[in-house]
Amino acid sequence: MSADAAFKPLAGIRVVELTHMIFGPSCGLFLASFGAEVIKVEPPGGDKTRQLTGMGASFFPTFNRGKKSVTIDMTTRDGRCAFDRLLATADVLLENFRDASLSGMGIAPEQLAERFPKLVTVACKGFLTGPYQHRAALDEVVQMMTGLAYMTGPPGRPLRVGSSINDIMGGLFGAYAVIGALQEREQTGLGRHLRVGLFENSLLLVAQHMVQFGLLDVEPDPMPNRAFSWPVYDIFSTVDGMHIFVAAVSESQWQALCSILGLTDLLADPRLQTRMDQIAARDWTVPRVAQAVSGMAFDRLTAVLEREGIPFSAVARPAEMYDDPQAQASGGLSFSRLPGNRKLRFPALPVEVNQQRIGRELNVPELGQHTEQIMDELGFDRHSIVKPGEAEQ
């Protein structure tokens, strides 16, 4: 039995998703990966994320796998009625609309709680309740606001992290909260209204730096200029032009690295007999390490580092991950079918269940692919809910 067939703890749970871009869709993806039926409701023209190009071209297929697509024109009376009837069959509603838009659509949290008391609602927002809660936000905005960009770039050059980290991690927290709310509903019979904030997610990511300041009353430098806590934690160049990150964070690793690189004189040096001594001497020991690494070939060096248990890595690019043996192992890269029957490999979730990966073979739906199926189930004529030009005046 495959892992997907065996591990579906959310089988039987219906999620209605009314989201776009990455934050909300990633939450739906995680729930679908655990077996939930996720119905993505799109306007007749489709989620605009489908049409993005360049760096945005990957957003829709990456975060909308494993879902059903239903098109509903929410500007029509029949469309809103169909959506309402769909919600009556749902366990979870996932949305990322502005708060002010929800009341007009009849799906504000208090409205839904009155009509569907068992429904768990998840609001994917820029901010939780507070003075900023009505602001628009993006991943990069909150990285700037919370100091994450400040800590990532060199001094004076704040840089966003090279991934939509808050959107994806925020989606993960949303899914995590949904599972908790569904578990609670088993005892109470009632749903919950959940709100997940990008700003607060980014705040959690910089918590270690905030707490460092709170404990020591010393503001940490950006990571490229940070005060090191380990003797070796650096990027070096090998003789064949490869860049390699090497770390020695324990006494045994320090000793092993010095032996590998032929720097045994450092082991006997009276100035380097404790880890604090080794950290304090980085200004002259790390150049020695760099010189030694520059005389070794990458393959030979990595073989010895792996054998001796020293942390290391080539400085890789995302495109290279398709060929990485660890990324490929145990179904870590699996094929999903895209609209038009093209197949593409995606990373599975970073979880094994009984040594098998989950979240594999989740296909990307065609626009409206499941409208007829779902509307027939609800007793609606699909044409009455998607036909343009029927909006009320």
Residues annotated catalytic, as ranges:
167
Q: Name the burial class of residue 318, with classes exposed (0-12), middle (13-18) and buried (19+) by CB atoms within 10 angstroms of its CB.
A: exposed
d(CA 197, CA 127): 4
User: Contact 364/336 with Cβ under 8 angstroms?
Assistant: yes
The CB density around residue 162, as the number of other CB atoms within 10 Å, is 8
Q: Name the burial class of residue 63, with classes exposed (0-12), middle (13-18) and buried (19+) by CB atoms within 10 angstroms of its CB.
A: buried
Sheet of 243-248, strands arranged across: 232-237, 243-248, 312-314
- Could you tell me the two tokens for 127? 């901010």
d(CA 298, CA 306): 12
Task: Say which DSSP state 361 is in.
Answer: S
By DSSP bridging, strand 312-314 and strand 243-248 are antiparallel
Region at 46 (left for phi over 0; alpha for psi -120 to 50; beta for the rest): left
